[in-house]
């Protein structure tokens, strides 16, 4: 069984790139292009990890992270903020909202998987075949 990753990202190019990288490394990907859909999908079929953009329409990533952490079945699901917000205090704000990690955009395709896996328990890291 592969590790399931929920990506909440409104930019189609970023979604494509992250999905491609994850699927190329045998991760199962679930996509959501906004927070409302992301929360719904996470509740319906809890993922193993959530990659969350901060700058989203309707609800921002901080609000989404707080909402996800309220759910009992998602309480221990790692959330990683993947964002172009790189000002002083942005990382801390994401962590306070419930994220366990922070990856800055633009992502580096050569290091992205390793960056994400740093926040996964060892048993969840999908080995490439």
Q: pLDDT tens across 49-107, in order?
A: 999 999 998 899 999 999 999 999 999 999 999 988 667 788 899 999 999 999 999 99
Mean pLDDT within 6-34? 97
Please state whether the predicted TM-score (pTM) of the whole model is above 0.75: yes
* Cα-trace Rg, the chain: 13
H-assigned helices in 1-129: 12-24, 35-44, 61-70, 90-97, 112-117
- Vertex 102, ends 96 and 34: CA angle to 5°? 85
Q: What pairs with residue 4 in β-bridges?
A: 28
Residue 34 has pLDDT above 80, yes or no: yes
Rounded Cα distance between 22 and 44, Å, is 21
Residue 111 DSSP class: T
pLDDT at 129: 57
What domains are there in the chain, each with its CATH number?
4-124 (3.40.50.2300)
* DSSP string for 73-87: GGTTS-EEEEES--S
């Amino acid at each position: 069984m592969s590790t399931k990753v929920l990506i909440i990202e409104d930019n189609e190019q970023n979604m494509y790139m992250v999905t491609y990288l994850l699927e190329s490394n045998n991760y199962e990907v679930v996509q959501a292009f906004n927070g409302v859909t992301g929360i719904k999908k996470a509740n319906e079929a809890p993922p193993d990890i959530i990659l969350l953009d901060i700058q989203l329409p309707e609800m921002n990533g901080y609000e989404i992270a707080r909402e996800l952490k309220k759910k009992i079945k998602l309480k221990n699901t790692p959330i990683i903020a993947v964002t172009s917000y790189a000002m002083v205090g942005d990382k801390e704000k994401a962590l306070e909202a419930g994220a366990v990690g922070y990856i800055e955009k633009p992502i580096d395709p050569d290091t992205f998987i390793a960056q994400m896996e740093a926040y996964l328990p060892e048993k969840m890291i999908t080995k490439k075949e």
